[in-house]
């Protein structure tokens, strides 16, 4: 996949990443995401803010936003600071992924895994100053567990349970840990303020 769609909740700063083969996939991915979030959070998404990319300015998205009562805001051309939250997060994720790939000497075609791992980790480790909580804590109303985290690209040992008699001959299977998570999507609860979703494609 060639593109990453970064979506940031303006209230909690919780971030989602979606990987696309083509920009034409954007509307369908956004539809699925908004439906999932509105069901999970039990809250109406009021505003979607994007840049003026053609993937966001089309009749398909316009009709969907109108039907759902969602206001679509766009930043002024050549004024990236109007969409600064998601631009900063996008840059942070890309730089983190580059560092992870370089430090572990993992092939570049794992770039999507690196960005997904960086996003997963930052949602559970970066403290939002105004809330003094992580994005995960804000949106799920509970502290995240980080006990299962592994260093990106590290070699981990995986073995099946065996009896004591078989232990001396037990074989270990070594794999490379590229993802530090197994959950597909967060379990969400309603935050005190309905979220404003910002998104931008790199």
Q: What is the CATH number of the domain that holds 131?
A: 3.30.420.10
What is the band of 202 on the pLDDT scale with cuts at 50, 70, 90? very low
Within-domain flag for 149: yes
Within-domain flag for 115: yes
What is the signed CA dihedral for 143, 146, 152, 156, rounded to 10 degrees?
-150
Q: What is the DSSP letter of 169?
A: G
First to last CA, the chain: 12
Which string of b and e fits 18-33 if b means at least 16 CB within 10 Å?
A: bbbeeeebbbebbeeb
Q: What is the pLDDT of residue 41?
A: 85
Q: Each residue of 87-131: pLDDT tens digit?
A: 999 999 999 999 999 999 999 999 999 999 999 999 999 999 999
Within-domain flag for 54: yes
Q: Each residue of 62-73: pLDDT tens digit?
A: 999 999 999 999
pLDDT above 70 as % of the chain: 77
pTM above 0.95, yes or no: no
Q: Each residue of 71-93: pLDDT tens digit?
A: 999 998 888 888 899 999 999 99
Residue 17's nearest CA partner among 33, 1, 3, 5 is 5
Within-domain flag for 111: yes
Within-domain flag for 123: yes
Beta-carbon contacts of 94 under 8 Å, excluding residues fewer than 6 positions away, are 115, 202
Instruction: State the residue range of the domain holding 127.
Output: 3-157+173-201
Beta-carbon contacts of 132 under 8 Å, excluding residues fewer than 6 positions away, are none
Q: What is the pLDDT of residue 160?
A: 46
The string of DSSP letters for 94-133 reads HHHHHHHHHHHT--GGGHHHHHHHHHHHHHHHPPBTTTTB
Task: In whole angstroms, give the CA distance from residue 143 to residue 126.
Answer: 12
Structure tokens given for 34: 């908004």
Beta bridge partners of 20: 3
Q: Residues 199, 16: contact at Cβ < 8 Å? A: no
Residue count (the chain): 202
Domain count, the chain: 1
Average pLDDT, the chain: 81
Q: Residues 201, 6: contact at Cβ < 8 Å? A: yes
Within-domain flag for 167: no
Within-domain flag for 162: no
Which string of b and e fits 72-99 if b means at least 16 CB within 10 Å?
A: eeebeeeeeeebebbbebbebbbebbee
Within-domain flag for 139: yes
């Amino acid at each position: 996949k060639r593109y990453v769609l970064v979506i940031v909740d303006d209230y909690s700063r919780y971030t989602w990443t979606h990987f696309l083969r083509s920009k034409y996939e954007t509307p369908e991915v956004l539809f699925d995401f908004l439906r999932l979030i509105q069901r999970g959070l039990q809250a109406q998404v009021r505003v979607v803010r994007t840049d003026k990319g053609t993937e966001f300015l089309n009749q398909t998205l316009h009709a969907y936003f109108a039907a759902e009562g969602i206001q679509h805001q766009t930043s002024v051309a050549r004024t990236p600071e109007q969409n600064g939250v998601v631009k900063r997060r996008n840059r942070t994720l890309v730089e983190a992924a580059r560092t992870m790939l370089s430090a572990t000497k993992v092939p570049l075609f794992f770039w999507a895994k690196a960005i997904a791992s960086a996003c997963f980790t930052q949602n559970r480790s970066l403290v939002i100053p105004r809330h003094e909580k992580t994005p995960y804590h804000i949106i799920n109303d509970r502290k995240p567990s980080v006990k299962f985290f592994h260093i990106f690209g590290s070699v981990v040992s995986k073995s099946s349970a065996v009896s004591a008699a078989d232990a001396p001959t037990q074989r270990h299977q070594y794999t490379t840990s590229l993802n530090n998570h197994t959950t597909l999507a967060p379990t969400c609860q309603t935050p005190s303020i309905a979220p404003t979703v910002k998104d931008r494609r790199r």
